[in-house]
Amino acid sequence: MVSLKTIAKTCGVSTATVSKALNDQRDIGEETRNRIKKTAEELGYFPNAAARALKTNRSYNIGVLFEEEAGSGLTHEYFSGVLNGLKVQAESQGYDITFINTCFGNRKISYYEHCRYRNFAGVAIVCANDFNDPEVQKLMNSDLPVVTIDYVHHNCTAVCSNNIQGMEELVKYIYRQGHRKIAYIHGQSSSYVTKDRLASFYRTMEELGLTVPDEYVRPGAYLQTKEAARETENLLQLREAPTCIIYPDDTALIGGRNVIIEKGFRIPENISVAGYDGTRISQLLHPKFTTIRQDTERIGSEAAKRLIDTIENPRTAFVERVVIDGILVPGQSVGKNLRQGAY
């Protein structure tokens, strides 16, 4: 392994000068600093992680809290995209990521205790089963730099998908296709994402002069095809059935789609459907889903950038809410409604 002594000998300077150059200290000339950095790169120098941590009092390791209640884990397309964006950006800035757990041998420890044990420089809360869990709250209220995904907390920078804008665009697109009877099967009511989407749905419908019967808004859960199927069947049985149904996500929409087909109806000729997330499978099925594609890679990347900035510049850091817009994907599952009535 290339050492500071090797670089110093090659450049004809002291190891102290090499250390200053690689740490961007200002008490050496720019020409010398650039020459040393170029030599270090050519020789393939990598700083020793333990030595760097001792020198900077920073571990260059970010803890990631990821608890996904639907049971999809890392196969969850939305969160896998966010995690990849986070990982790529963190690594490009010289940081590693490690998942947080609550087990230490045979002993159970808190999230915060695990973070302290691992000496994490900061924490990214990508997903938590319950943000009101005292252990999660303790982590967010701690002295550690923390960034959250799709959840706003007074003590943490939050990076969120623009769910308000996404739902508004989706409803207005459906409206332009001639639909006036629009139903919405939403995700868990306790979710911050659901609250934003639901409020945007009602507000947009009101702006368009449309009434929303109570039975048109049905509780469901993210990524749950069975619940979506059950609520779809309930909607289809209404005397004044909707002409279009919005689902909490593209996976849940598949459950609704299956019921619609089993009932002998065709999409979008008899009834239209729309999803959310813009997953790959949503564009492989026929008809292709109308959906909102979330920029998951950018959400993860921005989360890493903001967190690392807070870690490295604590004096100038402040709590932010960063909102990332989604993109409407028209698809084929929302058709023109010419009759204004139910199927």
Mean pLDDT computed over 30-52: 80
Half-sphere exposure of 254 (CA within 13 A, CB side): 14
Beta strands, E only, 128-167: 146-149, 157-161
How far apart, in Å, are the Cα atoms of 209 and each of 205, 268, 284, 335, 341? Answer: 6, 24, 35, 21, 16
Asked whether residue 227 carries a pLDDT value surpassing 90, the answer given is yes
CATH of 4-46, one of 2.60.460, 1.20.1540, 1.10.260, 1.10.3470: 1.10.260
17, 7 contact by CB (below 8 A) = no
Domains 4-46 and 163-294 share a fold: no
What's the mean pLDDT when you consider all of the chain?
Answer: 90
- 246-293 pLDDT, tens digit per residue, is 999 999 999 999 999 999 999 999 999 999 999 998 999 999 999 999
Q: Check residues 75 and 295 and name the one with the higher pLDDT.
A: 295
CATH code for the part of the protein at 61-161+296-325: 3.40.50.2300
| pLDDT score for 343 | 41
259 and 233 Cβ atoms separated by less than 8 Å = yes
57 CB-contact burial (10 Å; exposed 0-12 / middle 13-18 / buried 19+): exposed
Q: Domains of the chain: which residue ranges? A: 4-46, 61-161+296-325, 163-294
Query: What pLDDT sits at residue 178?
Result: 96
**Separation of alpha carbons 157 and 147, rounded Å:** 5
What pairs with residue 97 in β-bridges? 62
Q: What is 163-294's CATH superfamily?
A: Response regulator (3.40.50.2300)
Enter the tokens of residue 158. 């939050």
Q: Sorting pLDDT into bands at 50, 70 and 90, what band is 341?
A: very low
> Can you give the pLDDT at residue 342?
44
* Range ranked top by mean pLDDT from 12-21, 43-52, 130-139, 269-278: 269-278
